[in-house]
Amino acid sequence: MESQYHHFGSADSTTVSRESRNTHTGMRRILVYILYSVLVLLLLILLMVTGIKFTQMSKEINEVKLQIETVSRRVSTPTSYSGAKPLRDVFLQELTPVRGTCGEGWVSFRGSCYLISITTATWAKAEETCKSHKGHLLVLNNVEELDYISKVADVQLGYWIGLVERGQEGQWSWVDGTDYSSTPTFWDVGQPDDWDFRVNGEDCGQLHGAQRRKRKLWNDADCGLSYRYICEMKA
Ligand SMILES: [Ca+2]
Ligand SMILES: [Ca+2]
Ligand SMILES: [Ca+2]
């Protein structure tokens, strides 16, 4: 009998311990589920916060871009520019260029030949192309030359010229070695502004495009951008 009691007693305790083990495992599983859920929830919150922050940041970036554009537009508009004395617009007649003694595709003016490109290139590529034709990018020696180019080039387009800032900021030079201080300058109002200085800056000279035919004024632009260009060589 004693052994029977003992037997029953032992069976009971086994069941109890199995049950308690089951309960324990169940609890652990629930805990793991809860932990997983919390983790997933945290991840979702993190994603949402990142998304919101990203949207806010790109909105702010766009706003800053817009402000910079507005300021730069204001600076390049002669009427609202309060710095340097605004240059008067000089309106010109269109001129049909003549080839003269210049090569195919080139036009002649006062002892020089000019190639007005119809394709675009970066400033360095444009200069390389001009050099391959035994010339160089346009060097504007006087206002007559600038007016001639303004009369024969496309009114609305910008063109690279042989003006470059090679050393320090503000030290402009002509590609053929002509002394920059010996030639008249025709910077557009507010230029050179080295706009977007945080990225590449603007270290190459170009002629600005306009809505109406007038004397083309100068602008400094990012040398890595592609524009049409004008080559010059001795006739
Ligand atoms: Ca020249
Ligand atoms: Ca510059
Ligand atoms: Ca500029």
User: What number of residues does the chain have?
Assistant: 235
∠ CA(221), CA(124), CA(220), 5° rounding? 15
| Confidence (pLDDT) at 52 | 73
Answer whether residue 79 shows pLDDT above 70. no
Q: pLDDT by residue (tens digit) across 199-234?
A: 889 999 999 999 999 999 999 999 999 999 999 999
> How far apart, in whole angstroms, are the C-alpha atoms of residue 189 and residue 87?
7
% of the chain surpassing 70 pLDDT: 78
Ligand 1 mean position, distance from CA 226 (Å):
22
Confidence of residue 13 (pLDDT cuts 50, 70, 90): low
Ligand 3 mean position, distance from CA 95 (Å):
28
Q: pLDDT by residue (tens digit) across 165-190?
A: 998 999 999 999 999 999 999 999 99
Nearest to 185 by CA among 84, 105, 79: 84
Query: What are the φ and ψ backbone dihedral angles of 92, each rounded to 5 degrees?
Result: -130, 160
Q: Decide which of 196 and 170 is more confident.
A: 170
This prediction's pTM:
0.65
Confidence of residue 81 (pLDDT cuts 50, 70, 90): very low
Ligand 2 mean position, distance from CA 170 (Å):
6
Confidence of residue 82 (pLDDT cuts 50, 70, 90): very low
| Confidence (pLDDT) at 208 | 96
The CA-atom distances, in angstroms, between 60 and each of 47, 56, 63, 115, 195 are 20, 6, 5, 44, 20
Report which secondary-structure segment, H or E, holds 159: strand 159-165
Ligand 2 mean position, distance from CA 152 (Å):
28
Answer whether residue 153 shows pLDDT above 50. yes
- The most confident of the ranges 36-40, 52-56, 83-87 is 36-40
Ligand 1 mean position, distance from CA 208 (Å):
18
Confidence of residue 74 (pLDDT cuts 50, 70, 90): low
Ligand 2 mean position, distance from CA 212 (Å):
27
| Confidence (pLDDT) at 103 | 96
| Confidence (pLDDT) at 50 | 79
Ligand 3 mean position, distance from CA 18 (Å):
83
Ligand 2 mean position, distance from CA 192 (Å):
7
Torsion angle (degrees, nearest 10) of CA 29, 33, 35, 37: 180
| Confidence (pLDDT) at 3 | 46
Answer whether residue 126 shows pLDDT above 60. yes
What is the distance of C-alpha 50 from the center of its chain? 27
Is there a contact between 210 and 216 (Cβ–Cβ < 8 Å)? Answer: yes
Question: Which amino acid is present at 148?
Answer: Y
Answer whether residue 1 shows pLDDT above 50. no
Q: What is 107-234's CATH topology? A: Mannose-Binding Protein A; Chain A (3.10.100)
Q: Decide which of 195 and 206 is more confident.
A: 206
Confidence of residue 88 (pLDDT cuts 50, 70, 90): confident
Confidence of residue 2 (pLDDT cuts 50, 70, 90): very low
Ligand 2 mean position, distance from CA 165 (Å):
6
Ligand 3 mean position, distance from CA 202 (Å):
6
